[in-house]
Amino acid sequence: MIDLEFLINTLSLGSLYALLALGLVLVYGILKLVNFAYGEYIMIAGYGLYFSATVLHLPWWATMLFGVAAAVLTSYLTELAAFRPVRNKSANALIVTSFAVSIFLQNAVLILVSPRARAVQLPPIFSQTVNIAGATTPVRNLLIIGTTITVLILLSLLMKKTVLGMAMRAAADKFTTTRLMGVPANLVISAAFIISGLLAGIASIFWIGRSASVDPVTGAAPLLIAFIATVMGGMHSPTGAVVGGFVYGLLFNVLSITLPASMISYRDAFMFVIVVLFLLFRPEGIIKGGYTEERVG
Amino acid sequence: MKRLGAVVCLVLAVALVLPGCAAKDGTGGKDASDKIVIGAALCQTGIQAPLDEPALRGAQLAVDELNANGGILGKQVELVALDGKSDPVTVGNVAKQLIDDGAKAIIAPSDFDFGGPASREAQKAGIVGISPCASSPLYGSAALGDKQFTLSMWNTTMGAVTAEYAYNEKGWRTVYVITDDFIDYTKSLSKYFIVRFEELGGKVVFEDTYTQGQADVSAQLARIKALPEKPDFIYISSYMPDLALMIRTLRESGVTQPVVGGDSYDDPSLFEALGTQYGSDVYFDTHGYLSDEANPKYSEFAAAYEKKFKTAPEAVWIMPGYDVVMVIAQAMEKAGSTDGAAVAKAMETNTFDLFTGKLKWSDAASGHEPNKAAAMVSLTEGKPKFLGWVIPEKIPAP
């Protein structure tokens, strides 16, 4: 059963999930906030694609930039308007706020656009397929693998080589100490949200690319996937999120192929059992984080 | 803490006062007697909204037309809509609220699972409940009560029409079936399609399943590709939004067999999502078609719709929404009252000439089975084409 098609499917699915998980864990690392509005950034990016193509009539590369920019802006604005005011309150306040942001954004598009799905125009290359050694696969699957590798390299350069990256890593380990060293908290947190939005936007192009349509609840499924992947991989490091994403993709595809048709509806149930086992026997995830401390505030 | 307490008190106060006001409006004194309230417990948000939201617009259009022509039984008609939010419990609650506010009939969401709770509340209150497009054979008097109806053909008809079309018109003999186990609609549609297709002599190569929301068909795709003999076509009974993803994924991966399904395909966003590249060789049956060819007087209807909503009709679901109000109006006129039992009796005993065609329900003892034709539609390069109205030669027993 392990053939080239399986390999490409697993790598592309894993890449997509890794991007999703990475965006979620960056904010968690610093704020200790599981941002339930994260799925909405993906949804907003989808509507960005839709609007820039149907209303502004931009060329396809510009619609992609527009979509990603919409996600980045939304992520940054929600940080400014919603999360910053409650940052020093309890952790519960932050979580409830993220739910509120999620509901607000969903209902905003529901009222402003439509509850009905909107078709998104995709560049021609997204609809092409290639034949590699007998395996037919959409070009999109190869693009996502390449994109993820590029994003991971750039992100690790940012984290390791720049002052901002070092500040973010330090803040993820010991936020209070980092602040005492003179690193401005607002800057680090805003940067985390901006990068999180950027990853959501990029992942969104590929997520939406599969169905070519976007609706107000598009964000729910990718949010769940990102959440499970980070739980499996480890909540405390970007590496954990990436590993979690690929492990999720692998498990998903293995279950898809090995489960008989009558059991395929229970694939999610099997996935959740695995997550529960992780929580029971290795709650810190596959990759253990360095230092962990309680959230500031 | 003090401030929090104040906020909670304020919220509670608002929550307590608002429904009070609403209730007052509905039952307020003399107003109640000189107008007839129809309650729409439709889902304006959530997964059911693509069907229910257009239906609500159609119903609003019908109410305007009725009122311009003197209303029902000489009284003006008021359509009150509350959002069922694609949640069966909420649908039941808003239906109850509408009935408490004086609704004389309830319009229920277009599906058994989502619409059933509204009909049960209507039945409890002794009034007529009717769904524009619920097509499960459970939607009728047997499961919901003797005052409950659906304007849609049942899945027995919807499944049989495409089975006969594939077997007789196209000469296809083998099929791969994928059934979404999401709701009763998706499950029962496949069931009756298979019954009729096998009865004709066709062969089901494999019955596969899918679950709405999984957003991945790699498992089903792998099984189709592994088949020693390719099926003549693929029958997919699913729901938007995942339906677009399923068909796209199959096409992208080189599965070129025709895809056949039911009325959930009738969504402009599906046509666009498949586009010119993947939107070919798709066949489905539905409730109507936005053209004069399928529905005489369509142009008139479209003009009225555009005048009211400042946009052209975009989904077929507005037509059944329009028709449910018209059927309620005609039945109330024939019954000479708004009494639930009398209206239900009128609905059982008359044949209705509606915008979406002629409709006759069977009596309560035989389930309120609707006798209605299906519109057969094909998709070529993302463009729908009306193939004609079809009544199947034989309809499977529910």
- Condensed to tens digits (0 to 9), the pLDDT of residues A4-17 reads 888 888 999 999 99
- With CA atoms as reference, the chain A residue closest to B315 would be A116
Coil vs helix vs strand at B180:
strand
Contact (CB<8Å) A211/B46 = no
Most confident stretch, A63-77, A213-227, B208-222: A63-77
Residue in chain A closest to B179 (alpha carbons) equals: A265
Report if residue B27 sits inside a domain: no
Q: Is A213 on the interface with B (CB under 8 A)?
A: yes
Question: In this complex, do B53 and A116 lie within 8 Å of one another by their Cβ atoms?
Answer: yes
> Residue A235, SS3?
coil
Residue A147 pLDDT more than 50? Answer: yes
Interface of A with B in 9-68 (CB under 8 A): 9, 13
Chain B's closest residue to A137, CA to CA, is B253
Ordered by start, the domain boundaries in chain A are 16-219
If we measure between CA atoms, which residue out of B263, B302, B306 comes closest to residue B51? Answer: B263
- How many domains, chain B? 2
- In chain B the first and final C-alpha atoms are separated, in Å, by 60
What backbone torsions phi and psi does residue B84 show, to the nearest 5 degrees? -80, -10
Give the CA angle between residues B143, B145, B148 to the nearest 5°: 100
Whether the CB of A268 is below 8 Å from some CB of chain B: the reply is: yes
Sorted by sequence, the CB contacts under 8 Å of residue A163 that are 6+ apart come out as none
CATH number, domain containing residue B77: 3.40.50.2300
Residues in A closer than 8 angstroms to B214, CB to CB, are 267-268
A chain contacts of residue B45, beta-carbon cutoff 8 Å: 107, 110, 115, 216
Residues of A in contact with B46 (CB under 8 A): 115, 217
A115 vs B contacts (CB less than 8 Å): 44-46, 49-50, 53
Q: Which of A115, A120, A256 lies nearest to residue B49, judging by beta carbons?
A: A115
Task: Tell me if B241 and A218 make a contact (CB, 8 A cut-off).
Answer: yes
Residues 6+ apart with CB under 8 A from B228: none
Q: How close does chain B come to A267, measured CA to CA in Å?
A: 9
Residue A284: predicted pLDDT: 82
Does pLDDT of A125 surpass 90?
A: no
pLDDT for B17: 40
Q: Is residue B203 part of a domain?
A: yes
Q: What CA–CA distance (Å, rounded) separates B252 from A131?
A: 11
Would the CB atoms of B45 and A120 count as touching at under 8 Å? no
Question: Which residue of A138, A252, A265 is in closest CB contact with B211?
Answer: A265
The predicted structure's pLDDT at residue A161: 93
Exposed/middle/buried for residue A100 (C-beta within 10 Å: 0-12, 13-18, 19+):
middle
pLDDT at A107 over 60: yes
Q: Are residues B213 and B262 in the same domain?
A: yes
Q: In this complex, do B252 and A213 lie within 8 Å of one another by their Cβ atoms?
A: no
B268: chain A residues, CB-CB within 8 Å: 119
On whether both B167 and B236 belong to a single domain, the answer is yes
In a domain, B355, yes or no: yes
Enter the tokens of residue B302. Answer: 């479209």
Asked if residue B216 and residue B124 are part of one domain, the reply reads: no
Q: Which residues contact B316 (CB under 8 A, 6 or more apart)?
A: B54, B266, B286, B287, B288, B289, B290
- Which residue reads 């408490």 in tokens? B100
Q: How far apart are the first and last CA of chain A?
A: 51
Helix (H, G, I), strand (E, B), or coil: what is residue B315? Answer: coil
B163 and B140 fall within a common domain:
no
B324-348 pLDDT, tens digit per residue, is: 999 999 999 999 999 999 999 999 9
The pLDDT confidence band at residue A96, using thresholds 50, 70 and 90, is very high
Domain enclosing residue B383, as ranges: 156-286+375-390
What pLDDT does residue A289 have? 64
Peptide bond into A115 cis (omega under 30): no
In a domain, B17, yes or no: no
Of B209, B244, B253, the CB nearest to A212: B244
The yes-or-no verdict on residue A33 having pLDDT over 70 is yes
Q: Which residues of B touch A117 (CB under 8 A)?
A: 50, 240-241, 244, 267, 269, 273
Q: Does B47 sit within 8 Å of A212, measured CB to CB?
A: no
Map residue B209 onto helix, strand or coil: strand
Contact residues on chain B for A267, CB-CB shorter than 8 A: 211, 214, 219
In the structure encoding, which two tokens stand for residue A266, read together?
A: 């229970």
B177: left (phi over 0), alpha (psi -120 to 50) or beta: beta
CB-nearest partner of A119 from B46, B50, B269: B269
Mutate to test the interface with B, among A4, A125, A213, A251 (most CBs of B within 10 A): A213
Interface touch B273/A212, C-beta < 8 Å: yes
Whole-prediction pTM value?
A: 0.82
pLDDT tens for each residue of A158-203: 999 999 999 988 888 888 888 898 889 889 999 999 999 999 999 9
Average pLDDT over residues B194-210: 94
Domain co-membership, B381 together with B257? yes
Same domain, B270 and B225: yes
Asked if A212 has any chain B CB less than 8 Å from its own CB, the reply is yes
pLDDT of residue A131: 82
B9 found inside a domain: no
Length of chain A: 297
In a domain, B7, yes or no: no
pLDDT of residue A2: 57
Same domain, B186 and B278: yes
Give the 3-state secondary structure of residue B367: coil
How many CB pairs lie under 8 A apart between chains A and B? Answer: 108
Which DSSP string corresponds to B68-117?
Answer: HTT-BTTBEEEEEE---TT-HHHHHHHHHHHHHTTEEEEEPPSSHHHHHH
Residues B47 and B174 reside in one and the same domain? no
Average pLDDT over residues A40-65: 93
User: What are the φ/ψ torsions at residue B106 (nearest 5 degrees)?
Assistant: -120, 130
Pairing assessment for the beta strands B282-286 and B259-261 based on DSSP bridges: parallel
Question: Residue B169: CB partners within 8 Å, gap ≥ 6?
Answer: none
Q: What is the mean pLDDT of residues B127-139?
A: 94
| B271 close to B383: Cβ distance less than 8 angstroms | yes
Q: Which residues of B touch A217 (CB under 8 A)?
A: 46-47
Q: Which residue of A has its CA nearest to B224?
A: A261
Q: How confident is the model at residue B16 (pLDDT cuts 50, 70, 90)?
A: very low
Flag whether B395 is in a domain: no
Chain B CB contacts of A139 below 8 Å: none
Same structural domain, B165 and B253:
yes
Residues B281 and B352 in one domain: no
Judged on CB neighbours under 10 Å (0-12, 13-18, 19+), A85 is exposed
Residue in B244, B252, B271 closest to A129 by CB:
B252
Residue range A48-65: average pLDDT? 92
Q: Do residues A185 and A119 lie in contact, with contact meaning Cβ atoms separated by under 8 Å?
A: no
B24: in domain: no
Nearest CA among A209, A83, A78, A142 for reference residue B275 = A209
Q: Return the residue of B nearest to A113 by Cα.
A: B45
pLDDT for B364 beyond 70:
yes
Please list every residue in chain B whose beta carbon sits closer than 8 Å to the beta carbon of residue A210. 215, 245, 248-249
Residues of A in contact with B245 (CB under 8 A): 210-211
d(C-alpha A253, C-alpha B221), whole Å: 12
